[in-house]
Amino acid sequence: MFCSAEAQASVRVSPQPWLTEGESVTLICEVSGSSKGWTFSWFRDHDHLSDSSRGAGGSYTLSPAALQHTGVYTCRAERGRPAYYTHNSSSQTLWITGVSASVSLVINPSRSQHFSSDSLSLSCEDQSNSTGWTVRRYTDKDTQTCAKQTGSGCVMDSLSTSDTGVYWCESESGEKRLPRNITVHDGEVILESSVDPVIEGETLTLHCLHRSTNSPILSADFYKDGSLIQNQTTGEMSITTVSKSHEGFYYCKTERGQSLHSWISVRVRGQ
């Protein structure tokens, strides 16, 4: 086996490494310098994945993702005869949590994007044991409990961009449920979208909000995966009868500014 010192493999994930079982995620293996002619092998927790064929073209998709898919992933690329390999890539952790009908992460205001300096409250509500869960978060710094805990809840009086991260409910025994992305923007415009996945067949409604009024902006362009999909004079966009094809990164743009991107996830009914 010949290893390349120049060609380096790396892994990135789309849309995000934190998700709930039933959602979809794709890992992409990229080789520096040239992406042509390579075949790819995938590993989870150092074990070779026998279904690496699903990683053809450098992408490895889990749809739907399940609890057993949680782990540390790496990839390796090879080409030529005799085989010419890259070293294993750097690692990418995927974390898939379970769905619990009795536990809910309540976010107020109920949206994924928030303005800096605004307040935000989160709480874990469990029908059977409301005191057994704590709000935890992962930011670009580390994993921690909220600075201002109130029982099973968390209050942030003045948000900053450093509060951007993944928030979830964690039990006293270490069970993790309902990871949700919270993004804090110091700009003038945010996209109002649900923090929870949209159920297939239901209606998706998005609003473009301005900082000064926290109400919809009259004229806004809405984009999905970088392409303009609607121009609205009401500051609101609706998609009726949502399907999996509507999953993607959404944002809005107005003359006052542009929102950050939010991933909209679509869950198949019954999952």
pTM for the predicted model, two decimal places: 0.72
Radius of gyration of the chain (CA): 21
Using alpha carbons, select from 24, 12, 28, 19 the residue that is nearest to residue 248: 24
Choose the most confident range, by mean pLDDT, from 77-91, 205-219, 246-260: 246-260
Task: Give CA–CA dist 226/251, Å, rounded.
Answer: 8
Sole residue written with tokens 């609101």: 236
Structure tokens at 262: 């939010």
d(CA 106, CA 72): 29
Measured CA to CA in angstroms, residue 175 lies from 73, 98, 137, 171, 233 at distances of: 22, 9, 14, 5, 45
More confident residue, 133 or 258: 258
User: What confidence tier does 129 reach under pLDDT thresholds 50, 70, 90?
Assistant: low
For residue 243, the cross-strand partners are: none
Contacts of 239 (CB under 8 A, 6+ apart): 203, 204, 205, 246
Instruction: Report CA 122 to chain centroid distance, whole Å.
Output: 18
Q: In the numeric block, which tokens belong to residue 128?
A: 């059977």
Decide if pLDDT at 271 tops 60: no
Task: Please give the pLDDT value at position 4.
Answer: 52
Q: Quick one: how many helices (H) and strands (E) in the chain?
A: 0, 29
Task: Output the CA angle 247-249-250, nearest 5 degrees.
Answer: 105
Distance CA 188, CA 209 (A): 8
| Residue 140 φ/ψ, nearest 5 degrees | -70, -5
Structure tokens belonging to residue 246: 């509507």
For 129, residues 6+ apart whose C-beta sits below 8 A from its C-beta are: none
| Per-residue confidence band for 253, with pLDDT thresholds at 50, 70 and 90 | very high
Q: Are 260 and 183 in contact (CB under 8 A)?
A: yes
The residue with tokens 């892994």 is 11
Residue 149 pLDDT exceeds 70: no
Q: Which of 24-38, 100-114, 187-201, 256-270 is most confident?
A: 187-201
